Structure 1
Amino acid sequence: LNKLERYEEAETHLRRANALDPETKYGHRHLGNALYGQGRYAEAVDTYLVAIEQLPDDAAAHASLGAALHILGRYEEAETHLHRALALNPSHTEALYFLATLRAEQQRYDEMLELLQRLIDIDPNDAAAHVSMGVALVFLGRSDEALRSFDQALSLDPTVEYARANREAVLEAMKGNIE
C-alpha cells in the first residue's frame, strides 16, 4: 500500500499488524514510511527509532530516519543515520540522495557531486540525480557539464520541468543575461 501511495490505509493495516506481533521484522519501518508519506515526519522519526532498536543493521531504516530528520531540520542526527545506512549498504540510493541534499544545503558542492556520481553509477536512469548533479555543477562554475546533466535528465524523463528550467537559466547566464 505504501508503494501505491495509499499511506493512510497502509498505516491502519501496519498498526494492526504491529499490535498483533510487535517484534515483526520491518513492520515499524513500513509504518514509519506510511507516516512519512503523510508528511507526519516527527511520528515517522519515533517509529523508525523503534525499527532500528529491533533491527540495528537495517540500512533502509537508517536512511529513512535520516531523511525524516533532514526534513525536520535535525541535520547532525540526519547525517549520522545517513552515514550509518551507507556503512551498512554503500549502494543505498536514498541515503546517497539525502546526504547529497544535505551537502547542498551546507554548500559543500564537491562532496555533493561525489555522492551524486555514486548514485548515478548505481542507477544511471535516475533523472532527479542528473538534475541534482547539474545543480551542483552550476554552483561549481561548470556550466557546460551542468547542461549535459540537465540534458541527460530530460532524455530520461522529458516531463522533469525543473531540469528544463535549470537548463534555460544556465543558458541565459552563459549568454550574460543573468548576473
Structure 2
Amino acid sequence: MPGYEAWRAGKLEDAHWFFLERTIGHPDCADVWRGLGNVAWTYRNFVYALACFNIALRLEPWNPMCWGNLGLVRRDLGQPQAAIAAFRVALGLDPGYAPALNEWANVLFDIGQYEEALQLYDASLQIDSRRAVVYHNKGVCLRKLGRVSEAVHYFNNALALDPGYQYSLEERDRLLEKEVLVTDVEGW
C-alpha cells in the first residue's frame, strides 16, 4: 500500500494524506486506520493514534498487529498494564508474533523489570532473529544491568543486520569508549 511505503520512507505528510483520503472511500478497511494511526504515532500524537488504532481493532479484532499497535500506543501514553494486556492478546492470537514480544519487553524495561525484559527479548529473537531493533533493545537492557561486554555484543549484532542503525552505533561506541577509559585509568 503506497501509504505504508511513504510512512516507512519518512514521507509523513504524503502518508497522512493517502490514508486520510482512503478513510472516505474505505471506512471499513482496518489497514487504512492502522496506517493513519502509525502516522499519528510517528508524529507523537498518541491520542489520535489511539483513536485510529481502536477503529482498526474494532474492524479486525482477530488481527495481532491491531493489538500490537494498541499496546504500543498505550505504552507511550504511560499505561504499562494496558499495553501488556494488549500484547498478551496479540500473542494469544499469534504466539509467533515477535514484535509483540519485543514491545512487551520494552514495557518491562520501562518499569524497571530488566531481567524479565531480557527473557522476552530472547523469545522474540528465537522467533525472528533478523530484526536489528530487538538486538539493540536487548543491548540497552544489558547495559542498564551493567553487563557491558554482552551489551556491546548485541549492539554489534544489530549493526551486522543494519549497518546504519545509528542508535546501536552510538550506544556501542559510547560503551567501548568507556571501556578504554577504564582500562587506561586502571593501567595507569
TM-score normalised by structure 2 residue count: 0.79
Separation in 1, partners of 2:160, 2:29: 42
Identify, as 1 or 2, the structure richer in helix.
2
Separation in 1, partners of 2:71, 2:65: 10
Separation in 1, partners of 2:97, 2:74: 17
State the 1:132 CA deviation: 1.1
Separation in 1, partners of 2:165, 2:126: 20
Q: Does 1:83 align with 2:88?
A: yes
Aligned residue pairs, count? 175
State the 1:156 CA deviation: 1.8
Change (3 A) 1:42 1:3: same
**Residue ranges of structure 2 left out of the alignment (5+ in a row):** 8-13
73-82 or 168-177: which moved more?
Answer: 168-177
57-66 or 140-149: which moved more?
Answer: 140-149
The superposition leaves residues 2-51 of structure 1 with CA deviations (integer Å, 9 ceiling, x where unpaired) of 23213212222321123xxx444544334433433443321221222233
Q: Which residue of 1 aligns with 2:56?
A: 51
Q: Which residue of 2 aligns with 1:8?
A: 16
State the 1:67 CA deviation: 0.8
Q: Which residue of 1 aligns with 2:25?
A: 17
Q: Does 1:161 align with 2:162?
A: no
Q: Pairwise mapping of residues 1-179 of structure 1 onto structure 2 (< 5 A)?
A: 1-5=3-7, 6-18=14-26, 22-24=27-29, 26-175=31-180, 176=182
Corresponding letter in the other structure for 1:99: W
**Residue ranges of structure 1 left out of the alignment (5+ in a row):** none
Q: Contact 2:29/2:56 (CA < 8 Å) preserved in 1?
A: no
144-153 or 44-53: which moved more?
Answer: 44-53
Q: Secondary structure at the match of 1:150?
A: helix
Q: Contact 1:14/1:30 (CA < 8 Å) preserved in 2?
A: no
Separation in 2, partners of 1:166, 1:30: 30
TM-score normalised by structure 1 residue count: 0.83
